[in-house]
Amino acid sequence: MSLPRQQALELRNVIEARRSALLNEIREDVARARREQFGELAGPAPDAGDQSVADLIADLDQADLSRDVDELRAIEAARERLAQGHYGECVNCGRDIDYARLRANPAALRCIDCQRLYEKTHAVPSAPRL
């Protein structure tokens, strides 16, 4: 990784902040889904704070959560790359991903050129496929 140290630190903060926000969002959604599923008889939702991320993800099959879960997986993968020193390298061409792009999308896997190419050759997930 050839990012200057200061930029790497800032991006780590962006990743950690995004991860916390996503985890909170997902926990709230899960707690709400459980309340709706079990109703008042189940009492207050169990504290999800003790759950590991893996348990949390395994618990999620609601379609409206899949976007957050997908993003959380991507963020987790970005943390892993950061820990291993590969963060910020385009997975297709190996060049450094633009810092501004990483700030806006810390889980980005590709440089902007490769991403455009990728989106041309792969269906965008949100596009209707009829």
Among 60, 90, 107, 108, interactor with Zn ion by CB under 5 A: 90
Confirm or reject binding of residue 91 to Zn ion (CB under 5 A).
no
User: CB-side exposure of 69: number of CA atoms within 13 Å?
Assistant: 18
CA–CA gap between residue 86 and residue 24 (Å, rounded): 27
Among 92, 96, 98, 105, interactor with Zn ion by CB under 5 A: 92
Sign of the CA dihedral running 5, 8, 14, 18: negative
Confirm or reject binding of residue 111 to Zn ion (CB under 5 A).
yes
CA–CA gap between residue 27 and residue 37 (Å, rounded): 15
Binding segment toward Zn ion, per CB under 5 A, in 20-28, 49-57, 62-70, 82-90: 82-90
Binding segment toward Zn ion, per CB under 5 A, in 10-18, 23-31, 45-53, 92-100: 92-100
Please, where are the H alpha helices in 39-65?
53-58
Confirm or reject binding of residue 42 to Zn ion (CB under 5 A).
no
Q: Which is nearer to Zn ion, 51 or 92 (CB)?
A: 92
Task: Give the single-character DSSP code of 42.
Answer: G
Give me the residues that bind Zn ion (CB under 5 A), please.
90, 92-93, 111, 114
